[in-house]
Amino acid sequence: MLHHFIEANRGDIIERCRAKAASRLVTPLTGAAMEHGVPVFLDQLANALKSGLTTSPEINRSAGRHGHDLLRQGFSLSQVVHDYGDVCQAITELAVELDAPISSEDFRTLNRCLDDAIAGAVTEFGREQNQTTLDDEVARAGYLAHEVRNLVNTAMVAFEVLKTGNVGVAGRTGRVLHRSLAGLRALASRSLTEVRLTQGVQNREQFLVCEFIAELAAAATLDSHSRGVTLTVLPVAEGVSIEADRHILTAVLTNLLQNAFKFTRAHTSVTLRVGASAERVLIEVQDECGGLPSGNVDDLFRPFEQRGADRTGLGLGLAFSRWAVEAHNGRIYGRNLPGKGCVFTVDLPRIPCPPPR
């Protein structure tokens, strides 16, 4: 009987299946992906054969978990199918070697159980893969909407100032409006490129941090004045350089500053400062929001997470700021200052200055 053969040779069958999988994979299966696969299936198959059943509902459920585990470990749909095909090959190869015949009825049960297992694993794998793709698309659309809103808001503030007639279009306010409109054009262009190439950071360039902060502060100062908040920009050391996509990094810092203006207490200040070591550049935004009641700043980096009464945003800014900074081989993190405020830090690699000629 096939169930006696499986029970007697369970360990050998599992090792053969693992060897077959290892011959196909660069990264071996680990943890739950191994346990919910072949070992569980063999026990369920033996029980089905012993009970005279043609299949078992448990096979479908455990195979679904196996599909889930393989997707989480980054394996393909092909691996899901191959895993169960290995079982059939291992059993038949070992049966031939040991001269243990398999009856046609047992073989039909084996194939039906394998069919159910493959169907269950493939169904769950496909369902979760589709959901992941959908989540990515929603997140990407949210990022685009978020950055468009930021640029439009800055442009609107600059336009309102120009409407008063107190400043000229050729002055600094006009330049802020121009940069915002140029940013919108660049964002639209980059979004089209991402659709074609499915890439993230593309336009890296080396630039001085002091010049970058000066440009950023011009637009941010207008925004802070419109909200009744003081923006303090501390001097930046000369000669500090980074390599980044300037537009994306501007979007990150603009988001941090707008969040600070939004949540800091009325008539307080927001501070923008830069620190540098031999290898790192730290750009910090500090507000005076009073601190977080929970004290856990990391929670704010989750998508669609919002705190406070002002819900005008999408709750995506910090999540995508983290994505953007990590795409530049950097980090972004926050510190809670109880009773005072929060500090958000963009930590990026520093580019060594070229030696003097």
The domain spanning residue 31 has which CATH number? 1.10.490
Provide the pLDDT for residue 304.
41
Structural domain includes residue 30 = yes
203-221: average pLDDT: 90
Q: How far apart are CA 66 and CA 41, in angstroms?
A: 10
Same-domain pairing of 129 and 211: no
pLDDT, averaged across the chain = 75
Q: How far apart are CA 323 and CA 318, in angstroms?
A: 9
Q: How far apart are CA 332 and CA 235, in angstroms?
A: 21
Q: Domain limits at 60?
A: 2-135
Domain tally, the chain: 2
**Angle (CA) 200 203 209, round 5°:** 110
Provide the pLDDT for residue 234.
95
pTM: 0.49
Enumerate long-range contacts of 102-105, CB under 8 Å, 24 or more apart.
Answer: 102/2, 102/5, 103/1, 103/2
Structural domain includes residue 172 = no
Which of 99, 116, 135 is the endpoint of a domain? 135
Grade residue 246 by pLDDT with cuts at 50, 70 and 90. Answer: confident
* Short-list 247, 255, 257, 258, CA closest to 318: 255
Provide the pLDDT for residue 305.
44
Which of 135, 166, 188 is the endpoint of a domain? 135
Provide the pLDDT for residue 279.
92
Grade residue 291 by pLDDT with cuts at 50, 70 and 90. Answer: confident
Same-domain pairing of 216 and 130: no
- Out of 16-25, 196-205, 346-355, the most confident range is 346-355
Q: How far apart are CA 343 and CA 334, in angstroms?
A: 5
The tens digit of pLDDT for each residue in 248-266 reads: 888 889 889 988 998 899 8
